Amino acid sequence: MNKAKHPLIRLHGVTKRYGATVALDNVDFSCFPAEIHAILGENGAGKSTLMKLLSGVIQPSEGDVFVDEEIIRLKSPGHAIDRGLICMFQELSLVPDLSVRENLLLGAKDARYGFAKKHHLADARVLLDKIDASHVQLSTRVSDLTLAERQQVEIAKALSRQPRLLILDEATSALNSTVVEKVFDLIREQRDRGTGVLFISHRFHEIEAIADKISVFRNGQHIETFANGQYNYGAIINKMVGQSLTELFPTPAPRTISSTVLTLDSLSWNGEIKDVSIDVKAGQILGLGGLDGQGQNHVLQALFGLLKHTTGDAAVNGTQGMPRSPKAAKGKKYGLAWVPEDRKKEGLILEQSIQDNLQLAALGHASAPAQAVFEKLISSLELKYQSLEQPVAALSGGNQQKVSLIKWLVISPTCLLLSDPTRGIDVKTKTQIYQLLVELSKQGIAIILLSSDYEELVHLCHQVHIFYDGEIVDTLSDESLNAQNIIAASLNMHKKSSEAHA
Amino acid sequence: MNLRIKASYIEIAFPFVASVLMILGASTVFPEFLSATYLLQQLQIAAFLGVIALGATVVILLGHIDLSVPWALGGAAIISTTLVGTDHAVLTVLAVPAALLFGAFVGIINGIGVAWFRIPSMVWTLAVNSMLLGVAVLNTGGFNPKGAASNLMITLATGQIARVPVAFIVWIALAIAMMLFLKRGGFGRYLSSIGYNEKATYLAGVSTSGVIFIAFMIAGTCSALGGVLLAGYANQAYQSMGDPYLMPTIAAVVIGGTSILGGKGSLVGTIGGVTFITLLSSILSVMQISEAWRNIIFGCIIIVMLLLQTFKHRRS
Amino acid sequence: MLDVFKRYRRECIAFFVLFALLSLYIATHPRGASTYVMTIWANQCLILALAAIAQFFVVVVRGIDLSVGAVMALTNCAASYLLNGSGFELVYGSFMVIALGTACGLINGLIVVFGRIQPIIVTLATGSIFTGLALLLRPTPGGSINYDFADAMTLDIVGIPTAVWIALLIILLFWFPLRQSGMGRSIYAIGSSEQAAFQSGISVNTVRIIAFALGGTFAGLAGSYFSYVTATGDAGIAANFTLNSIAAVVLGGVALSGGVGTLIGALLGACILKTISSLMFFSGLPPLAQPLIEGLVLATAIAIGSFGILTEKNRLRVFD
């Protein structure tokens, strides 16, 4: 880091308000060329607002943005791109109906509305190959790609635009560690060429691995900037949360002998679920693990009545057979509830009020829950809101997830199905959700927790099934339930020894 | 919380206030616009568009649209007048129920395409409309069908109780009945949730296709009721009598504050929108403005009204 | 090749359907595949095809244009004044008619973007205005078009209907370059995902306005071509063309949800629709049954594309 150089971008007294909410509060912040600068903070700390500001998506309410020490008003993303400020957004900026090729060219500085030049694509192809995406063809439609492949394309798109400042907002959340390492190599290469990099991630070990500098944000304020390695994990977490955080994971409820709530006997569907058998008891937290898209989510969808023509036997809550719709699944006969992974499109109705969302699942349900039930859950999860009439879209991601959980808990399900409930959520909300799950299991609710975070599986679950290619390839519990075994089984490389435990 | 409620009250009051201002403005030129006779007559005329627009609101709340209004209306008019025209006592009594059942049946066909096959409602209801037209042409030979309106139909359309038009009473009674239905069991909430996000609503355990079916059946029945009233008013059915009602229906619903994308809106607002549209066309034709200018002024005023709405929205 | 078929599946299906229908039409037509028969057919198809292309540009950016027919009526009435001179006057007149159409589309786009009102409502209202203006120009049908000019546009060149040449010119000189350009990409991008397009640096407002204006241009072309064929101005043609243009783009595989479909698809859809009605005319069906058959064919064609939904094994997929 060359201290003599002037900062690439500098924020001076920047404030951003949304109505009464202050998203950024009088922030001074600089990023220098040739440094990888990580931004840490809980959800709602202002990280995303900062990124949107620098990429021209929004404009500050007060204060100035300097690029190369010159005041600039970034009117639009196009304007920012022209200045070399390239952002890779958390909400992917790829157009689903266009091909990979067209997406790579979309909005490029010198081919925005005119015709593209050959080198644009050649550059992107090289970049794609470098990050293990050589199998991605340029003519494929983006909607046919997996989430991980889309992120790879997104990275290639950003890097091919010769950024001066590269902003990565949760850019690697769906990528596995080998690919992440390759992406990091490219980012380091960029840095060595003089590019400034702003890096947001919830994966702390990634930040540890790549950042030169770390800035912590909290409640819209810039708390502190320090060199990577200056503080330990605990100290940094404390800065983010503003108070000392006790254990991340609560002690799991002891496993007691109880009755079976849900059984699946050799469930198969469409070649994507193969012969899966599951048995969940009251008060048990059963984990479903494995790489993305190995059939574990389909099992939850099947249980919730979304898949047609499944084979195999099922019994839920004493009822034989699979429910045939979510309406049947949530009914008293089955007593199921499913919190889908995509809270914005599937879990919630963003335009509607918190109140309306909370009531939607219980609406028309045989026993309408009392207002007190809502209030108790709201306070136990510490849902932060100004008014129950405000639209859910105005809440932070973590609080949105709380709403989609409460919505289901009010109908008191006997078995709760969760698809990656903590993905992209801040540490504090995570611990609250963990606490809640343990609490629920103590109350005797059966929980099936699908998670891509092996720490969750290790610390919360009584038993974990690992999926690979639609099958359960390993079942872990007690001593065998550890990170190494989960990772090995996820890659279908588990040894006989771990099978012996199951 | 308070702010939001206030904002939505203003939104609902908007078309009513605009109607009053318009009629006051027009009365400076033609004082008879303020006479009770004229205004009561307008309520009668508004009722025809009104019942249709109530049904259309339900479908638009879902984020769908019903373009089969013209021939659901026309078909119902043809069926009812033809049954009455047989001079058979039983068939005469059955005329109105049969027409309404026909409307519900059109709603079912619309529902099959939209809820089961998931065809965009704009295209499917258009196709349904052209099929209904085909059936009507085949049956009537392209001529105005012989037949007449029953006494009941005539009373519904043109009768008066203490100078208040029966048609207006029918309209308001229907509106109240529908409001109660939407409140009950959360049906209105389902409509709005589906309008915003159907997938999330389905995943919340709502039978979304059931809701869509019922909504289209309500809309079809409302269009049919409109057809029955119009047939009673004209004492006959005629080809393409429904065509002039499609576009004004949509305009009335939207001016009433219902979002064409679904989710947001109200039946009360639609009543205001219908009042506004009816008064506007009436004033334009009383003033003997040519068809060309009526079209132009009509279009301009709709745009201005909507611009005012969005402008208000952006400020609040 | 197989790849192209896969990618443009909807267009290929539309093409084969059209091919089958056209063969049937030629086979049933008493005069067979003569240049005369083909020219009449092509002229009728091109009018609706241009209207469908106008609809396509608006639909692809997630809009719907209920004023297509009205713009056609307005430009048709204007043409009946502007296109009866000779020489330079004709060139100037043609240009003005198309410019008028473009202006109408531009107005739609400006109101949609800056008024933030849904396209369906905006075009419903502007459609009423444009129809009114057309009525001002021609309260009753009348006026005329220079016959030589009209003939030149509606007969044939080396035995192939001029309408076909015009369609080819549009595809080769306008559509292919546009599709390759950043503007073409941007139009699709804002239809498919406005957020992604904006974040990629596209000026969403400008592109949307341009798409609406292009729609107006083609509605103007459709009005012009309608004038060449009918040689008069008529303000009453709006309703039919608006609804048929929507039906045509859907038949041609353009998704009303935006971002999917091609100009060629819209063109093919229009030809299919027109060929069906022409076929009906010579089929010997009782004339009274024809509207019903047309309605049934339209409904079936639309429904067929949706049968896949019944075999979908995941109930959640139907919402995408």
pLDDT digits over B233-249, tens only?
A: 999 998 889 988 998 99
CA distance C185 to chain A (A): 7
Contact residues, B window 258-287, toward C, CB-based 8 Å cutoff: 259-261
The confidence score (pLDDT) of residue A244 equals 53
Contact C182 A55 (CB under 8 A): no
Q: 């969403």: which residue's tokens?
A: C204
Minimal CA separation from B106 to chain A, in Å: 27
Do residues A145 and A136 make contact, with C-beta atoms less than 8 angstroms apart?
yes
Cβ contact (<8 Å) for B134 and C292? yes
Which chain B residues are within 8 Å of A359, Cβ to Cβ? 189
Contact C185 A105 (CB under 8 A): yes
Q: State the pLDDT at residue C262.
A: 94
| CA pair distance C164, C156, nearest whole angstrom | 9
pLDDT at B275: 96
Residues of A with CB under 8 A from a CB of B: 304, 325-327, 329-331, 338, 340, 345-352, 356, 359-361, 363-365, 387-389, 407
Encoded tokens for A312: 């195999």
Put simply, the answer to whether B123 touches C115 (Cβ < 8 Å) is no
| pLDDT top residue among A465 and B4 | A465
Asked if A363's CB is within 8 angstroms of B196's CB, the reply is: no
Q: Which residues of chain A are within 8 Å of residue B184 when distances are taken between CB atoms?
A: none
- Model confidence pLDDT, tens digit, residues C188-216: 999 999 999 999 999 999 999 999 999 99
Contact (CB<8Å) B201/A338: no
Residue spans per domain, chain B: 11-315
**Sequence-distant (≥ 6) Cβ neighbours of residue C125 within 8 angstroms:** B251, B298, B299, B300, B302, B303, B306
pLDDT in tens, B21-73: 999 999 998 898 999 999 999 999 999 999 999 999 999 999 999 999 999 99
Residue C1: pLDDT over 70: no
Query: Which residues contact residue A130 at a Cβ distance below 8 angstroms, ignoring those fewer than 6 apart?
Result: A182, A185, A186
CA distances (Å), origin A360, targets A327, A445, B64, B101: 12, 21, 21, 32
Helix (H, G, I), strand (E, B) or coil at B42: helix
* Residue-by-residue pLDDT tens, chain A, 502 positions: 444 478 999 999 999 987 666 788 899 999 999 999 999 887 667 888 898 899 999 999 999 999 988 998 889 999 999 999 999 876 678 999 999 989 988 888 777 888 877 777 787 888 888 888 888 888 889 988 887 888 899 999 888 888 999 999 888 777 877 888 889 999 999 999 999 999 987 677 788 889 999 999 888 889 999 998 888 877 887 787 765 555 678 877 777 778 899 999 999 998 899 999 999 999 999 999 988 778 999 999 999 999 999 999 999 988 999 999 999 999 989 999 999 988 888 999 999 999 999 999 988 776 677 788 888 889 888 888 888 888 998 887 788 999 999 999 999 999 999 999 987 777 788 889 999 999 999 999 999 999 987 888 988 999 999 998 899 999 998 889 988 888 788 877 765 444 444 4
Contacts of C186 in chain A (CB under 8 A): 106-107, 112-113
Report the chain B residue with the minimal C-alpha distance to residue A368: B185
**Count of C-beta atoms within a 10 Å radius of residue B296:** 20
Cross-chain Cβ contact B122/C128 below 8 Å: no
Domains and CATH numbers, chain C: 2-30+39-276 (1.10.3470)
A contact test, residue of C185, C262, C310 with most A CBs within 10 A = C185
* C285 close to B (CB below 8 A): no
The confidence score (pLDDT) of residue B313 equals: 65
Pairing mode, if any, of strands A21-31 and A70-72?
unpaired
Go through the domains of chain A in sequence order and give each one's CATH number.
9-241 (3.40.50.300), 260-501 (3.40.50.300)
Q: Minimal CA–CA distance to B55: which of B40, B68, B74?
A: B68
The reported pLDDT for the residue numbered A201 is 77
Average pLDDT, chain B: 91
Tell me if A113 and C181 make a contact (CB, 8 A cut-off). yes
- Total beta-carbon pairs less than 8 A apart between chain B and chain C: 152
Looking at beta carbons, which residues of chain B come within 8 Å of A330? 205
CB contact under 8 A, C3 and A139: yes
Confidence of residue C271 (pLDDT cuts 50, 70, 90): very high
Chain B residues whose C-beta sits inside 8 Å of any chain A C-beta: 1, 4, 185-186, 189-190, 192-193, 196-197, 199-207, 263-264
Token readout for A388 is 């129950």
What is the nearest CA distance from A90 to chain C, expressed in angstroms? 11
The answer to whether residue C309 neighbours chain B at the CB level (below 8 Å) is yes
A113 contacts C183? CB cut-off 8 A: yes
Chain A residues close to B197, C-beta within 8 Å: 345, 348-351
> Contact A98/C202, CB-based, under 8 Å?
no
How many angstroms away from the CA of A417 is the closest CA of chain B? Answer: 12
User: With an 8 Å Cβ cutoff, are A98 and C192 in contact?
Assistant: yes
DSSP state letters, C132-192: HHHHHH-SSSB----HHHHHHHHSEETTEEHHHHHHHHIIIIIIHHHHHSHHHHHHHHHHH
Confidence of residue B196 (pLDDT cuts 50, 70, 90): very high
**pLDDT surpasses 70 at C5:** yes
Residue contact C256–B294, C-beta within 8 A: no
Q: A360–B206: do the CB atoms touch at under 8 Å?
A: yes
Given this model, what pLDDT does residue A164 score?
92
Minimum CA–CA partner of B121 in chain C? C256
Selected residues 179-208 of chain B with any CB under 8 Å from a CB in chain C: 198-199, 202-203
pLDDT of residue A20: 63
- Which among A308, A352, A407 is the top mutation candidate for probing chain B, defined by the most B β-carbons within 10 Å of its own β-carbon? A352
Q: Does C91 touch chain B (CB under 8 A)?
A: no
Burial level of A208, CB count in 10 A (0-12/13-18/19+)?
Answer: middle
As a CATH number, domain B11-315 is 1.10.3470
Q: What is the mean pLDDT of chain C?
A: 90
User: By CA distance, what is B3's nearest residue in A?
Assistant: A389
* C233 in reach of chain B (CB within 8 A): no
**Contact between A345 and B199 using a beta-carbon 8 Å cutoff:** yes
Burial state string for B33-43 with b = 16 or more CB within 10 A and e = fewer than 16: beeeeeeeebb
pLDDT by residue (tens digit) across C64-114?
999 999 999 999 999 999 998 888 899 999 999 999 999 999 999 999 999
What's the burial of A231, exposed, middle or buried (CB within 10 Å: 0-12/13-18/19+)? middle
Burial state string for A475-491 with b = 16 or more CB within 10 A and e = fewer than 16: bbbeebbeeebbbbbbe
- Chain C residue closest to A51 (CA)? C199
Which residues of A lie inside 8 Å of C (Cβ-Cβ)?
55, 57, 76-78, 80-82, 87, 89, 91-98, 102-103, 105-109, 111-116, 139, 141, 157, 269-270, 301, 305-309, 325, 346
Q: Give the closest-approach CA distance of A46 to chain B in angstroms.
A: 25
- pLDDT at A91 (0 to 100): 67
Are residues B178 and B221 in contact, defined by beta-carbon separation less than 8 angstroms? no
Nearest C-alpha neighbor of C301 from the set B131, B133, A97: B131
Report the DSSP beta bridge partners of residue A86: A166
Task: Give contacts of A327 with chain B, Cβ < 8 Å.
Answer: 205-207
Q: What is the pLDDT of residue B126?
A: 87
Tokens found for residue A392: 């859910």
Does pLDDT of C316 surpass 80? yes
- Distance, CA of B284 to CA of C298 (rounded, Å): 38
Out of A180-184, B308-312, C83-87, C304-308, which region has the weakest mean confidence (pLDDT)? C304-308
Which of B193, B203, B316 has the highest number of chain A CBs within 10 A, making it the mutation to test binding with A?
A: B203
Q: Are A285 and A441 in contact (CB under 8 A)?
A: yes
pLDDT over 70 at B282, yes or no: yes
